[in-house]
Amino acid sequence: MKLDFERCYRAVDSRDPRFDGWFCTAVRTTGIYCRPSCPAVTPKRENVDFFPSAAAAQRAGFRACRRCRPDAAPGSPEWDVRADVVGRAVRLIGDGVVDREGVPGLAARLGYTERHLHRMLSEELGAGPLALARAQRAQTARILVETTSLSFAEIAFAAGFGSVRQFNDTIQDVYARSPTQLRTTRPSRLTEAGTITVRLAYRAPLHAEALLGFLRARSLPGTEDVDATTFSKALQLPHATGIVALTPAERFVSATLRLEDVRDLAPAVARCRRLLDLDADPVAVDDTLAADPALTALVRSEPGVRVPRATDGFELAVRAVVGQQVSVAGARTTLRRLLRAVPPAPDAEPSPEGEPLRPFPQAAVVANLPDAAFRMPAARRASLRALAEAVADGKLSLDPGADRDEAVAHLQGLPGIGSWTAGYIAMRAIGDPDVFLPTDLAARRGARALGLPDSPAALGSRAAAWRPWRSYALMRLWRSA
């Protein structure tokens, strides 16, 4: 991936935090790479190289700055929103697929050979899948070293390293410190067993009230809870289950994770970032939408509105199908009945409302529930069964690396799932930033409130100017409604 040197250098010279995660600055005279907003003295331009990822800088022999922690910067919105193979691969690597399934598993999910996948990632990111996964393992290990009292052998295993020696060598290469020195520099915070608190950085601004308000209105007791400042949710993770509490703060979201298996730290963090849309570039989004005179005042008065996504694509899809043509409250009631039909685990912890706090059931479980568990019209029940069976059989993927067009086409081929439901699932489960639903009644009410045309055809035509951020425009219209 070619980076514009002058543009990058201007961002570094101004210490612009909006570019954190877009690229890394490597200084040849020190052997260190930084994020663009690093407070250190701006290096001379003749001593600087720019890399599109931390993994690329590490591969070139540079080590992470201990002051600005470039490996902990928000992920690049470029890879977060792209629907091509590279964007899908980066999201799957972030979810830990390489650690669990290796590069062959990643390539198989994407439908490419390992060699071709390596070539595409190297051309775009300056590093192949193994190097990208290694960079993520190093960051996960650092978090565990600095914030837990786990032994280094336990941390090496939890972070995905094949051996303690590999763990030690990688930490030394990336941070120029041994694990013992990292732990000495930042004393471990002793916490409840299995509990880890991390900071999830984001690009300002973040409209936390809009984000929590959207999640609160659709919260499902028994799996999640939302109060004035914190969103809590039970997660089904690759190795076990977990519970996360997310509290937005200035420049970061505090995430307290209770994990049954610490190997799930990296995928849990990746899913929390996706849920809150923390890798978005709100300035780019808002500038595009504010160019429409009808949206200018709204965008300027409420900057940083995000698109809440999902930690589990199948769960979001079930909610979307259940919510067709019923109120949010009615959908919540139906979903609670569905949850109660699934026996809780014996050791499930009680939620504030006294119900077992547990993840949403997986597709295979829902597919095998008796008809009495659904409490809905037969046609809707058939839609849910078809959805659950397609996901359970592997015919339909709704994970972060899913092909959006293929997923939407498959969804619309299922009984009872039309374009609105498929689009909503693509927006929130798969993360498509450019979904627009011109027939949506709430969107049309919001359009009327803003003086926009409210007929589906006219509204859809007007929305063409909001590309590629029509999902964010839809959130604005819903808020206006």
**Count of domains for the chain:** 5
Q: Are residues 263 and 369 located together in one domain of the fold?
A: no
Specify if 435 maps to a domain.
Answer: no
Name the average pLDDT for the chain: 92
In the annotation, is 405 catalytic?
Answer: no
Strands (E), 260-397: 349-350, 356-357
What confidence score (pLDDT) does residue 349 get?
A: 54
Q: Are residues 93 and 174 located together in one domain of the fold?
A: yes
Q: Are residues 331 and 241 located together in one domain of the fold?
A: no
Q: Are residues 175 and 233 located together in one domain of the fold?
A: no
Give the DSSP letter of residue 18. G
Q: Are residues 135 and 156 located together in one domain of the fold?
A: yes
Task: Label residue 346 by pLDDT band (50, 70, 90).
Answer: low
Q: What is the mean pLDDT of residues 337-348?
A: 76
Q: Are residues 282 and 363 located together in one domain of the fold?
A: no
Specify if 308 maps to a domain.
Answer: no
Which spans in 191-312 are helix H? Answer: 208-217, 265-275, 282-290, 293-301
What confidence score (pLDDT) does residue 330 get?
A: 87
Higher pLDDT, 148 or 219: 219
Which residues make Cβ contacts (< 8 Å) with residue 39, sequence separation at least 6? Answer: 15, 67, 68
List, for residues 34-89, the tens digit of each pLDDT value: 999 999 999 999 999 999 999 999 999 999 998 999 988 898 999 999 999 999 99
Specify if 97 maps to a domain.
Answer: yes
Q: Are residues 39 and 97 located together in one domain of the fold?
A: no
Structure-block tokens of residue 361: 């059931």
Specify if 126 maps to a domain.
Answer: yes
Q: Which of 301, 326, 343 is the last residue of a domain?
A: 301
List, for residues 232-259, the tens digit of each pLDDT value: 999 999 999 999 999 999 889 999 999 9
Query: Burial of 273 by CB count in 10 Å (0-12 exposed, 13-18 middle, 19+ buried)?
Result: buried
Dist. CA 450–CA 462, nearest whole Å: 13
Q: Look at residue 189 and tell me whether its pLDDT is greater than 60.
A: no
Q: Are residues 422 and 468 located together in one domain of the fold?
A: no
In the annotation, is 440 catalytic?
Answer: yes
Q: What is the mean pLDDT of residues 440-450?
A: 96
Percentages helix, strand, coil for the chain (3-state, rounded to 5) are 50, 10, 40
Structure-block tokens of residue 15: 């210490």
Which residues make Cβ contacts (< 8 Å) with residue 375, sequence separation at least 6? Answer: 334, 337, 338
Dist. CA 249–CA 16, nearest whole Å: 20
Dist. CA 188–CA 145, nearest whole Å: 7
Q: Look at residue 355 and tell me whether its pLDDT is greater than 80.
A: no
List, for residues 293-335, the tens digit of each pLDDT value: 999 999 999 999 999 999 999 999 999 999 988 888 888 999 9
Domain residues for 116? 77-185
Tokens 């973040």, residue located? 206
Q: Are residues 200 and 181 located together in one domain of the fold?
A: no
Dist. CA 432–CA 82, nearest whole Å: 8
DSSP annotation string for 271-295? HHHHHTTTT--HHHHHHHHHTSHHH
Specify if 275 maps to a domain.
Answer: yes
Task: Label residue 190 by pLDDT band (50, 70, 90).
Answer: very low
Task: Label residue 453 by pLDDT band (50, 70, 90).
Answer: very high
Specify if 64 maps to a domain.
Answer: no
Coil vs helix vs strand at 198: strand
Specify if 433 maps to a domain.
Answer: no
DSSP annotation string for 454-465? -SHHHHHHHHGG
The answer to whether 189 and 147 have CB atoms below 8 angstroms apart is yes
What confidence score (pLDDT) does residue 348 get?
A: 53
| Cβ-based neighbour number of residue 352 at 10 Å | 10
Dist. CA 408–CA 17, nearest whole Å: 35
- CATH number reported for the structural domain that contains residue 321 in this entry: 1.10.340.30
Catalytic residue, from 34, 38, 65, 68: name it. Answer: 34
Q: Are residues 332 and 410 located together in one domain of the fold?
A: yes
Specify if 19 maps to a domain.
Answer: yes
List, for residues 387-418, the tens digit of each pLDDT value: 999 999 999 999 989 999 999 999 999 999 99
Beta-strand relationship, 195-201 and 252-259: antiparallel
Dist. CA 171–CA 177, nearest whole Å: 7
Residue 56's DSSP bridge partners are: none
- CATH number reported for the structural domain that contains residue 39 in this entry: 3.40.10.10
Structure-block tokens of residue 32: 């260190």
| Cβ-based neighbour number of residue 461 at 10 Å | 12
The answer to whether 307 and 425 have CB atoms below 8 angstroms apart is no
Taking only Cα atoms into account, the Rg of the chain, rounded to an integer number of angstroms, comes to: 23
Q: Are residues 172 and 200 located together in one domain of the fold?
A: no
